[in-house]
């Protein structure tokens, strides 16, 4: 779907609509008011997210984070030891520079892994974002950020002029089906 902006003649008010881009029907499916989809999405998140999170077996994130942080610290310790190895002629400078580069690359990859881990208490976060007022107080860009954190796909299922909205969360089993 694509977002279409419409303004009325001599008015600054703007209306947003979602239009299907690949509708096979004749006549083509009509547009849906963006605000209506947004409100329904927020309502569905508030209803579905706590149930979805409650049914998920979460790994011990503290242990995973400690393991990654420990690996980062070990690699940093190795980097710190390289100047002493160069000064004692165990390593030449070129080898030490190459090893430093490789270790910093590995540290960067580990930091990326650490940054991609969900919040430690996903269930508490889900409870917070399941309050409708939370979503209404966010700016549009903040709202999109939170949508991307939890939602893999938003599916609009049409039946003639009626439609249903289905959310597929990142951690739900069906999120891997069409990813």
| In 117-131, alpha helices (H) | 122-129
pLDDT band at 80 (very low <50, low <70, confident <90, very high): very high
φ, ψ dihedrals at 93, nearest 5°: -65, -40
Report pLDDT for 104: 97
d(CA 167, CA 151): 7
Report yes or no on whether pTM surpasses 0.85. no
Residues belonging to the chain: 179
Q: What is the pLDDT of residue 119?
A: 61
Answer whether 151's CB lies under 8 Å from 170's CB: yes
Nearest to 95 by CA among 83, 104, 105: 83
Looking at per-residue pLDDT, the higher value among 54 and 106 belongs to 106
């Amino acid at each position: 779907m694509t977002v279409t902006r419409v303004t009325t003649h001599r008015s600054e008010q703007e209306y947003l609509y979602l239009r299907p881009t690949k509708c096979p029907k004749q006549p083509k499916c009509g547009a849906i008011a963006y605000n209506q989809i947004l409100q329904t999405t927020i309502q569905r998140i508030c209803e579905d997210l706590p149930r979805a999170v409650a049914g998920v077996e979460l790994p011990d994130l503290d242990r995973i984070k400690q393991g990654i942080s420990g690996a980062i610290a070990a690699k940093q310790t190795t980097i710190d030891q390289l100047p002493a190895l160069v000064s004692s002629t165990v390593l030449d400078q070129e080898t030490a520079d190459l090893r430093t580069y490789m270790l910093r690359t590995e540290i960067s990859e580990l930091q990326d892994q650490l940054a991609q881990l969900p919040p430690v208490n996903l269930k508490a976060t889900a409870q917070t974002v399941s309050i409708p007022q939370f979503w209404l107080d966010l700016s549009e860009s903040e709202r999109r950020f939170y949508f991307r954190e939890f939602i893999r796909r938003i599916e609009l299922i049409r039946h003639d002029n009626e439609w249903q909205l289905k959310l597929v969360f990142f951690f739900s089993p069906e999120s891997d089906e069409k990813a």
